[in-house]
């Protein structure tokens, strides 16, 4: 029943995303396209603008949600998330550098991945120090501190190169306003490969949640698998950031909403998380583009994620 509800929600999200916009061209235009009777302007707006924008929103939402779910299992901390751990800020640093140097989209994805990996390693080195009693929360707080520093650094780079990065400011705040098929072609294989790995090893995520000793007792190479998950999560996050900029808290809102409905079993949690994220992100995007003008999607997810984050903290007290 819940699966049917998620599929229905996706259908509604797709329909709304394709038919709602400031320029009009709603359901009638979509029907005209399906029957081959649409005008050139209807095909241009719906097929060349709204459709790739929908695909990017779905890919980014699912990538961030899967990454958040994996990181929460890796650190056994429900508050772990790419945005909070500094992974997204690290990826945005690589993306900004690629724009400054006027490199292509594939290089942007590569640099975003490399810088996100470097930031994750830095967070782990500092947060895993023996001087901290609770390393799980030490890693979390270290990620928040480094993310804040990188946010300032990214802003400084934008300021110093304002002429070449004028259009990137809106993008870095999280936006799907300039969808490009080339980005989709690069992002789809990354998402398919990384998500398949997490789905196929979902049982191992359950073992990690029970502790390293239990995971080793059932035959899991904990250190290797944890490294693999961090790499996969960083790749998913960097692909999302390189495509749409920094969109925070999706990796917290989506997984925890599904946990409230289905529990912690990852073989059920992960597919449902993906289905919910592919509906959640396009719907948020519709609200963003219908606002007076258009506001960054990242601003809306932050407005939703802040209270949700506090709620999760309150539940753990």
d(CA 80, CA 143): 9
| Structural domain includes residue 36 | no
Name the residue with higher pLDDT: 63 or 76.
63
pLDDT at position 317: 47
Return the number of other C-beta atoms located less than 10 Å from residue 238's C-beta: 31
The secondary structure of the chain in percent helix, strand, coil, rounded to multiples of 5, reads 75, 0, 25
**What is the pLDDT averaged over residues 276-299?**
88
| Structural domain includes residue 169 | yes
Residue 290 has pLDDT above 90, yes or no: no
| Structural domain includes residue 27 | no
| Structural domain includes residue 13 | no
Which value, to the nearest 10 degrees, does the dihedral of the CA atoms of residues 63, 65, 71, 76 take?
Answer: -160
pLDDT at position 98: 84
Range of the domain at 125: 59-316
d(CA 209, CA 13): 33
Threshold 0.85, pTM exceeds: yes
| Structural domain includes residue 28 | no
d(CA 70, CA 266): 10
| Structural domain includes residue 157 | yes
Over the stretch 103-154, which tens digit does the pLDDT of each residue have? Answer: 888 888 888 888 988 888 888 888 777 776 656 677 778 888 898 898 888 8
pLDDT at position 256: 92
Query: Which of 124-133, 180-189, 247-256 has the least mean pLDDT?
Result: 124-133
CATH, residue 293: 1.10.3470.10
**Residue 184, burial from CB neighbour count under 10 angstroms (0-12, 13-18, 19+):** middle
d(CA 200, CA 203): 8
| Structural domain includes residue 45 | no
User: In total, how many domains does the chain have?
Assistant: 1
d(CA 64, CA 68): 6
| Structural domain includes residue 293 | yes
HSE value, Cβ hemisphere, 13 Å, CA-based, for 75: 29
């Amino acid at each position: 029943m819940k699966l049917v509800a998620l599929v229905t929600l996706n259908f509604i999200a797709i329909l709304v995303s394709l038919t709602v916009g400031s320029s009009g061209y709603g359901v009638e235009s979509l029907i005209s396209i399906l029957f081959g009777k649409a005008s050139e302007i209807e095909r241009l707006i719906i097929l060349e603008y709204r459709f790739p924008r929908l695909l990017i929103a779905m890919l980014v939402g699912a990538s961030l949600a899967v990454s958040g779910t994996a990181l929460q299992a890796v650190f056994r901390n429900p508050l772990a998330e790419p945005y909070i751990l500094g992974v997204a800020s690290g990826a945005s640093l690589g993306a900004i550098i690629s724009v400054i140097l006027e490199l292509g989209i594939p290089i942007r994805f590569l640099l975003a991945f490399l810088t996100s990996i470097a930031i994750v390693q830095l967070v782990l080195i500092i947060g895993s120090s023996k001087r901290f009693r609770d390393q799980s929360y030490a890693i979390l707080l270290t990620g928040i501190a480094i993310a804040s520093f990188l946010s300032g650094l990214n802003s400084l780079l934008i300021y110093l190169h304002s002429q070449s990065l004028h259009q990137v400011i809106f993008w870095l705040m999280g936006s799907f306003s300039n969808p490009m098929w080339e980005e989709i072609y690069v992002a789809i294989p990354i998402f398919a490969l990384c998500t398949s790995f997490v789905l196929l090893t979902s049982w191992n995520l359950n073992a990690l949640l029970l502790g390293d000793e239990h995971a080793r007792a059932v035959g899991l190479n904990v250190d290797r698998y944890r490294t693999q998950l961090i790499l996969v999560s960083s790749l998913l996050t960097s692909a999302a950031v390189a495509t749409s900029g920094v969109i925070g808290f999706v990796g917290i809102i989506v997984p925890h909403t599904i946990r409230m409905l289905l529990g912690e079993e990852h073989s059920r949690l992960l597919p449902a998380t993906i289905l919910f994220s592919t509906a959640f992100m396009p719907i948020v995007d519709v609200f963003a583009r219908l606002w007076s003008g258009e506001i960054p999607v990242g601003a809306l997810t932050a407005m939703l994620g802040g209270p949700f984050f506090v709620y999760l903290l309150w539940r753990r007290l």
